[in-house]
């Protein structure tokens, strides 16, 4: 089953013939099951074969044309979902492979989950069916012009008026304007709006409200509502297909029952009342959203790596000085040392994302049983993984662009747009630095409780082994010893624990805990990263303990796991050395083993990215074509540009010709 949309020439056939494993079996390992492979393949091909979903000219469209194209694709996708009676799993995959950010992303990803998570059963029965049928289109209006990560600082107000049984939603300042919500600018009819609830003269903090924004008859803004798009964003095409919006309220009245009241409510008399439902249930939605973001990181990174690996196998540059054939770029050790850790990271993020799905289910089951014991750890874990994977992926996509040389800078390579679409993940759903500081606070609290005998749980369980990990020395004597999972895991645990304990000790010396935390925040960030990287390494090793069928699959995944871990060790060598986890010689041995692992991955590199099973349509890259027929495709793409519609450029008569004639005249003087 080759993930190719067409093409008679297969320049990468020789590369695929060198693979030492069953590619179809690796597809199953990547997707999670044979069923998942089949459903993925079916939905990807359904989209690739539909001319409405073409996207090869997307970067050449004006902003208005691009947005209209997005509306068309979203409507057509919904039509196909209904016509084919697709399951929810199939519908989600179809939208994924359409691969164009738009209002439906926020409608399904934030608006509906917010109502399900925070609305009463009665509210869900009223609003969710309308949303599921697209009788209304929703967005999630939380971030404001003046506040993002600091949700408690939001300024929009919702003041209860007992005379009319209504909330009055208002934007008291310019900075209270809602700013950034996707789908808000032009498409949404409704929003879940987060505002300060004020009743009986008291401010009860941030709560959610369902507010209608536009008429369902002609789509015009309702009285008291000012809204529009916030303007063009980074990159051509890219996230500019999304209508991120601005919204201001001028004393807009909504019925009291449009406050989301699952966790708290306001009575007819204006009394604020907490419900019996514990507020911790909201954490389940947060875990779900962050798990989705980590899964998206593996998709984006694997796309970039797929393009870079395939093109590196096609591109030849330099060679023997005796006039022999030029060398494949993928054969250069410098290319391998930059590219193969990114390939390993794509697999690592995929598998930790799978584990997060399990964590979400586990957290929800515990919450329903009123067991909140694992919530702090789950919150810290998901916050950290969101931060580390999105930052690393954004950097990796840019690295893949550079690995493709000059051609990677062309829009037709697919990499500039992929980067521009992905990079907002570093700030939405929590700024990455802020999230890591939350992880650090949790780690400091965990360390402080060790003396009392409280056993840490889940991903912090290793801290319970503090006496050993604070003293242990790595037993690695040869490069081959670094292939032992126990040896790798031990030094990662020791590094993470020692960095956390060191931060805690330094904070204790400060005049106050908050002052110490602020002063040591750069060190705390590094401690949080060390902890999160340990989680990823651990979950990759745990994946290898599963029954992975297929010839050579486990061996290849073991190589990638070791590359991921040893590359991190090499990159953060200062941490491992300064904390005394390893010696300089052991660090050198790790680097030596890395080189050997790169050599083992080299014959399998193209097949390993084939296992992602991406169609040419989804990759949207002439450099990453399945058949490797890159140069004719690059040449053909150039002629599609609107600038080439005429031989003589527009503006020649007005600007170029007079200039040239003037120069010609001067040259005769």
Continuous H helices in 216-332: 282-314
Phi, psi (deg, nearest 5) at residue 259:
-80, 135
Task: Identify the helix (H) or strand (E) that includes residue 198.
Answer: strand 190-199
Rounded Cα distance between 541 and 352, Å, is 10
Which residue out of 15, 155, 377, 429 is catalytically annotated?
429
Q: Answer yes or no: are the C-beta atoms of 238 and 55 closer than 8 Å.
A: no
Residues in contact with 200: Cβ distance below 8 Å, sequence separation at least 6, in sequence order: 160, 270, 271, 272
Encoding tokens for residue 96? Answer: 């994924």
Rounded Cα distance between 269 and 256, Å, is 11
Contacts 24+ apart (CB under 8 A), 36-40: 37/1, 37/613, 39/89, 39/90, 39/93, 40/93, 40/613
Rounded Cα distance between 114 and 107, Å, is 10
CA distances from 567 to 38, 340, 495, 517, 520 (A): 33, 10, 15, 30, 26
Residue (of 29, 140, 58, 48) closest to 93 by Cα position: 48
Encoding tokens for residue 238? Answer: 């890219």
As a residue count, the chain comes to: 669
> What DSSP string describes 628-646?
--HHHHHHHHHTTSGGGSS
Encoding tokens for residue 418? Answer: 């992929």
Q: Is residue 429 annotated as a catalytic residue, yes or no? A: yes
Cα Rg of the chain (Å, integer) = 27
3-state DSSP assignment of residue 148: coil
Residues labelled catalytic: 429
């Amino acid at each position: 089953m080759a993930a190719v949309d067409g093409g008679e020439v297969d320049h990468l056939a020789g590369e695929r013939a060198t693979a030492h494993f069953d590619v179809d079996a690796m597809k199953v390992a990547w997707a999670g099951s044979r069923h998942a492979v089949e459903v993925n393949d079916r939905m990807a091909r359904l989209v690739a074969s539909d001319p409405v979903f073409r996207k090869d000219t997307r970067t050449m469209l004006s902003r208005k044309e691009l947005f209209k194209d997005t509306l068309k694709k979203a409507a057509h996708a919904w039509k196909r979902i209904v016509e084919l009676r697709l399951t929810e799993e199939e519908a989600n995959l179809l939208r994924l492979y359409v691969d164009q950010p738009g209002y439906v992303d926020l409608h399904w990803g934030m608006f509906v989950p917010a109502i399900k998570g925070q609305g009463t059963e009665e509210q869900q029965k009223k609003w969710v069916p309308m949303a599921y049928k697209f009788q209304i289109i929703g967005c999630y209006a939380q971030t404001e012009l003046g506040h993002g990560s600091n949700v408690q600082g939001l300024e929009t107000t919702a003041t209860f008026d007992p005379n009319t049984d209504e909330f009055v939603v208002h934007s008291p300042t310019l900075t209270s304007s809602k700013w950034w919500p996707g789908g808000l600018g032009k498409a949404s009819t409704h929003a879940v709006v987060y505002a300060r609830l004020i009743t009986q003269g008291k401010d009860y903090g941030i709560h959610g409200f369902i507010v209608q924004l536009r008429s369902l008859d002609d789509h015009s803004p309702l009285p008291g509502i000012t809204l529009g798009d916030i303007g063009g964003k980074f990159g051509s095409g890219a996230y500019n297909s999304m209508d991120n919006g601005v919204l201001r309220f001028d004393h807009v009245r909504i019925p009291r029952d449009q406050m989301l009241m699952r966790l708290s409510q306001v009575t007819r008399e204006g009394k604020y009342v907490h419900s019996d439902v514990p507020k911790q249930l909201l954490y389940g939605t947060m875990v779900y959203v962050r798990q989705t973001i980590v899964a998206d990181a593996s998709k984006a990174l694997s796309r970039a790596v797929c393009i870079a690996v395939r093109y590196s196998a096609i591109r030849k540059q330099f060679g023997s000085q005796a006039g022999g054939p030029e060398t494949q770029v993928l054969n250069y050790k410098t290319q391998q040392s930059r590219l193969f850790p990114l390939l390993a990271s794509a697999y690592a993020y995929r598998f930790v994302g799978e584990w997060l799905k399990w964590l979400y289910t586990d957290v929800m089951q515990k919450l329903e049983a009123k067991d909140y014991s694992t919530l702090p750890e789950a919150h810290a874990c998901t916050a950290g993984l969101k931060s580390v994977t999105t930052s690393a992926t954004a950097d990796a996509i840019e690295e893949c662009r550079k690995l493709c040389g000059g051609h990677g800078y062309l829009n037709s390579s697919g990499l500039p747009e992929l980067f521009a679409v992905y990079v907002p993940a570093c700030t939405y759903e929590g700024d990455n630095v802020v999230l890591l500081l939350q992880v650090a606070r949790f780690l400091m609290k965990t360390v402080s409780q060790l003396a009392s005998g409280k056993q840490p749980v889940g991903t912090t369980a290793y801290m319970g082994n503090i006496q050993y990990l604070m003293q242990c020395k790595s037993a690695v004597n040869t490069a081959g010893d670094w292939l032992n999972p126990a040896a790798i895991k031990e030094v990662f645990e020791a590094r993470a624990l020692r960095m956390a304990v060191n931060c805690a000790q330094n904070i204790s010396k400060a005049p106050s805990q908050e002052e110490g935390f602020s002063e040591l925040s750069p060190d705390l960030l590094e401690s949080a990263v060390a902890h999160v990287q340990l989680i990823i390494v651990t979950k990759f090793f745990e994946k290898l303990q599963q029954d992975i069928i297929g010839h050579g699959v486990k061996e290849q995944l073991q190589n990638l796991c070791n590359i991921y871990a040893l590359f991190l060790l090499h990159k953060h060598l200062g941490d491992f050395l300064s904390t005394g986890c390893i010696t300089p010689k052991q660090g050198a041995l790790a680097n030596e083993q890395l080189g050997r692992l790169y050599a083992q991955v080299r014959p399998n590199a193209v097949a390993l990215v084939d296992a992602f099973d991406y169609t040419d349509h989804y990759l949207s890259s002439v450099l990453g074509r399945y058949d490797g027929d890159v140069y004719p495709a690059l040449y053909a793409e150039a002629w599609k540009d609107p600038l080439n519609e005429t031989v003589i450029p527009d503006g020649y008569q007005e600007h170029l010709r007079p200039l040239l004639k003037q120069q010609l005249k001067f040259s005769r003087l």
